[in-house]
Amino acid sequence: MSVRDNSYGIGDLQGRMLEILKYLDRICSENDLTYMAAFGTCLGAIRHQGFIPWDDDLDVYMPRHDYEKLWEIWKDVSSDPKYVLCRTGREKNYRHRVMQVVDTTTTFINRRCVNEDIEHGVYIDIMPLDGAAPNKLSLMIQDYHAVIFSVYNIQIEPEFHGNKMMSFGTRFLLKAVKNPERRYKLWTQAQKKMTKYDSRTSARYLDLHNYFKLISKPMPAEWFKPVRVPFEDMEICIPEGYDKYLSMVYGDYMQLPPVEKRVTIHNTVKIDLDKPYTDYKGVFYLADQ
């Protein structure tokens, strides 16, 4: 069933993302993995019982242990070849810090990725929740490693929404280390250090992949017990402590934003829900190669 249409014209896109979420929900259920809706997806579940009407994004959390297990078992448990689990590594850079489940029968080309030979389909984001360090000093060290990971993993200047210090710092770090193999070693080393606190036993979680909203803000692990709620024509998992989580992220989250802020977030060069991204290679991505 397609998500209802709306005045923003993105109902069909939301429908494709919902199909991916249904697929992930089934795989997690069959393999005893925990996921929960995050950010606007969680907010949409509570405020709209589905997508935020103008949202072109779908985010879920997984505790780090489940996140890594999903990566390990995906090829063995995924039965539909059109869905692939993607993650930046030595060979491919998705210009993104987290894993994505991508529908390879579609096209969704982000401007930041036009020079990359990757899967450019409609996707949903899977973000890890890491165990938080036990004290302020170790938290600062953990945050430092998270920044190093993010800069050398994504390898482009993130959008810091006017934060000139963060923009300058990112540009400086990228200019300081230009060799791709050296960057790979730096971010993989940083990832090991920032994820050393076991998400299965930690009393607090950190989202180390979002610079402004949650980095340096440990959250009680008890918030993140999954509960199921209605979302469009299915039920999805959200954090049991969604009220505290959403209040921390958005403040008065039940209040609709001003009309001028009800906008999509992705900067895309091409969207096609009927054709695979490979049809546009050399046209909308890798055009100069």
For every residue of 15-47, DSSP letters joined together read HHHHHHHHHHHHHHHHTT---EE-HHHHHHHHH
**Token pair of 235, please?**
């039920």
- Does a structural domain hold residue 3? no
Residues 106 and 247 in one domain: yes
Q: Tens digit of pLDDT for each residue in 28-58?
A: 999 999 999 999 999 999 999 999 999 999 9
- Are residues 226 and 114 part of one domain? yes
> Angle CA(285)–CA(286)–CA(287) in degrees, nearest 5?
85
How many residues make up the chain in this entry? Answer: 289
Residue 117 scores a pLDDT above 70: yes
CA distance 88 to 78: 19
Residue range 129-135: mean pLDDT, rounded: 96
Q: How much is the average pLDDT of 268-281?
A: 96
Phi, psi (deg, nearest 5) at residue 76:
-85, -30
**pLDDT, average across residues 248-275:** 93
Can you give the CATH number for the domain in which 102 is found? 3.30.460
User: Domain boundary residue among 181, 196, 211?
Assistant: 196
Structural tokens at position 12: 């069909």
Does 155 lie in the same domain as 39? no
Does some domain include residue 88? yes
- Percentage of the chain beyond pLDDT 90 is 84
Query: In degrees, to the nearest 5, what angle opens at C-alpha 277 toward C-alphas 10 and 44?
Result: 30
Does 26 reside within a domain? yes
One domain, residues 45 and 91: yes
The pTM of this model reads 0.93
Same domain, 266 and 174: no
Say whether both 120 and 150 belong to one domain: no
261 with 176, same domain? no
Asked if residue 56 belongs to a domain, the reply is yes
DSSP category for residue 279: G
| Residue 248 within a domain | yes
Report which DSSP code applies to 261.
Answer: G
168 and 156 both lie in a single domain:
yes
DSSP for 207-253, written as a single string:
-TT-TTTTTT--EEGGGG-EEEEEETTEEEEEETTHHHHHHHHHSST
Query: For 252-257, which contacts have Cβ atoms below 8 Å and span 24 or more sequence positions?
Result: 253/43, 253/46, 253/47, 254/46, 254/47
Domain carrying residue 174:
136-196
d(CA 29, CA 241): 21
Domain end residue (candidates: 164, 196, 228): 196
Buried/exposed code over 214-233 (b: 16+ C-beta within 10 A; e: otherwise) = bbeebbebebbeeeeeebbe
Q: Domain for residue 158, yes or no? A: yes
The model's pLDDT over 190-246, given as tens digits with 9 standing for 90+, comes to: 999 999 999 999 999 999 987 656 677 999 999 999 999 999 999 999 999 999 999
Q: Which tokens in the block code for residue 139?
A: 């938290």
Task: Give backbone dihedrals phi and psi of 258, rounded to 5 degrees, phi first.
Answer: -55, 155
Report the domain count for the chain: 2
Contacts of 22 (CB under 8 A, 6+ apart): 234
Looking at the structure, tell me whether residues 111 and 247 fall in a common domain. Answer: yes
With respect to residue 25, please indicate whether it lies within any of the assigned structural domains.
yes
Nearest to 60 by CA among 20, 16, 88, 91: 20
Higher pLDDT, 163 or 220: 220
Flag whether pLDDT at 6 surpasses 60.
Answer: no
Question: Is residue 82 located within the same domain as residue 127?
Answer: yes
Over range 172-178, report the average pLDDT: 92
